[in-house]
């Protein structure tokens, strides 16, 4: 009888441990899923905030997506820190009337890749500009953008960015 009790007790403990392990595994999966969902959500909302800011002539809504120690890069430019990024976007919003169109987004954990089209009018010359590129977003633990890297061909647009803050 004691042997049977020991077997049932061991079986019950084993089942409880397996159940606990499954619950913990599901919570970890939910947490990882929620991080990816947060990144995907940010990558949808951020361009909308950019476009709204462009319509209103105010970069504040867009700048709120960046951490204080964030980094932004594009060909020929590396800008570090929230205040430097704010200065860049102040310049961009004063220099262009632009619209950001998202074509495709892929997200894994805290990193997302976005294929986009940036259509703009250079305010002082009236020239129409179009950039097709890829942006890589890296989110920090705050849920804000930690790093943002743009990749695009600069040949036809470099002259418009030569006076931008942070451009080499």
> What's the pLDDT tens digit per position in 104-158?
998 888 899 999 999 999 999 999 999 999 999 999 888 889 999 999 999 999 9
Q: What is the pLDDT of residue 12?
A: 54
Average pLDDT over residues 15-42: 54
Counting residues of the chain whose pLDDT is more than 70, the rounded percentage is: 79
User: Residue 45 has what pLDDT?
Assistant: 85
What mean pLDDT comes out for the span 72-95? Answer: 94
| Whether pLDDT at 103 is above 80 | yes
Q: Give the pLDDT band of residue 8 (cuts 50, 70, 90).
A: low
pLDDT beyond 90 at 32: no
Q: Which of 126, 133, 138, 75 is nearest to 101 (CA)?
A: 133
Tell me what percent of the residues of the chain surpass a pLDDT of 90: 58
For residue 93, pLDDT beyond 80: yes
- Report the distance separating Cα 132 and Cα 153, nearest Å: 8
Round to whole Å and give the CA distance between 58 and 60: 6
Domains of the chain listed by start with CATH number: 2-161 (3.10.450.50)
CA–CA separation, 131 and 151 (whole Å): 10
**Mean pLDDT, to the nearest integer, of 88-109?**
94
């Amino acid at each position: 009888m004691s042997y049977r009790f020991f077997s049932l007790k061991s079986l019950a403990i084993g089942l409880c441990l397996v159940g606990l392990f499954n619950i913990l595994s599901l919570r970890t999966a939910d947490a990882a899923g929620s991080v990816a969902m947060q990144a995907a959500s940010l990558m949808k909302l951020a361009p909308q905030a950019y476009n709204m800011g462009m319509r209103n002539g105010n970069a504040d809504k867009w700048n709120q997506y960046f951490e204080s120690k964030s980094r932004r890069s594009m060909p020929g430019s590396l800008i570090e820190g929230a205040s430097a990024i704010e200065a860049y976007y102040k310049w961009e919003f004063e220099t262009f009337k632009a619209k950001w169109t998202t074509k495709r987004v892929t997200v894994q954990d805290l990193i997302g890749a976005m294929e986009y089209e940036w259509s703009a009018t250079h305010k002082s010359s009236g020239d129409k500009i179009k950039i097709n590129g890829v942006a890589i977003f890296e989110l920090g633990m705050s849920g804000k953008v930690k790093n943002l890297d743009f990749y695009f061909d600069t040949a036809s647009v470099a002259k418009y960015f030569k006076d931008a803050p942070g451009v080499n």
